[in-house]
């Protein structure tokens, strides 16, 4: 009687044999991998949105009505004017970002139309 290693239920290498309960579940591993990929993708998008500053106020034209408050001057908007160009012209030693934010707050938004009185801080 010959004994074949290939048909035996006993492994010829006992240190390499794993009990059936210790074998990983293929579907569970795949599901976990998919969940981890989705979570990683969501986190990457969230980081991009935070770093890109999406959702902030734009410094270009919009349809907001200006609010009139006490200011030190007025600029009458010409063709091609934007809050950035107005800030460049009138900001002096103040940083342009800070000046543009003040223009937005002072004028009630980012709207710039020809002939509009832009109140300066």
CATH of the domain at 83: 3.10.350
Q: Residue 113: give the domain boundaries.
A: 73-120
Structural domain count of the chain:
1
Is 36 contained in some domain? no
Is 32 contained in some domain? no
Is 15 contained in some domain? no
Is 53 contained in some domain? no
- 90 CA to centre of own chain: 32
Distances 95 to 2, 69, 76 between C-alpha atoms, Å:
91, 22, 22
Is 14 contained in some domain? no
pLDDT tens-digit map of 41-89: 999 988 887 777 655 555 555 544 444 344 468 889 889 888 889 989 8
Q: Write out the E strands in 3-113.
A: 73-76
* pLDDT at res. 25: 80
Is 103 contained in some domain? yes
Contact 107, 119 (CB under 8 A): yes
pTM for the model stands at 0.41
């Amino acid at each position: 009687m010959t004994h074949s290693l290939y048909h035996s239920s006993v492994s010829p290498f006992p240190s390499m044999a794993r009990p059936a309960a210790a074998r990983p579940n293929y579907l569970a591993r795949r599901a976990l991998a998919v969940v981890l990929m989705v979570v990683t993708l969501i986190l990457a998008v969230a980081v991009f949105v935070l770093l890109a500053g999406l959702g902030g106020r734009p410094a270009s034209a919009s349809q907001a009505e200006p609010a009139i408050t006490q200011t030190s001057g007025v600029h009458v908007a010409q063709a091609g004017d934007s809050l950035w160009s107005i800030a460049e012209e009138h900001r002096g030693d103040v940083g342009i970002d800070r000046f543009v934010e003040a223009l937005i707050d002072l004028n009630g938004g980012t709207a710039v139309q020809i002939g509009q009185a832009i109140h300066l801080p």
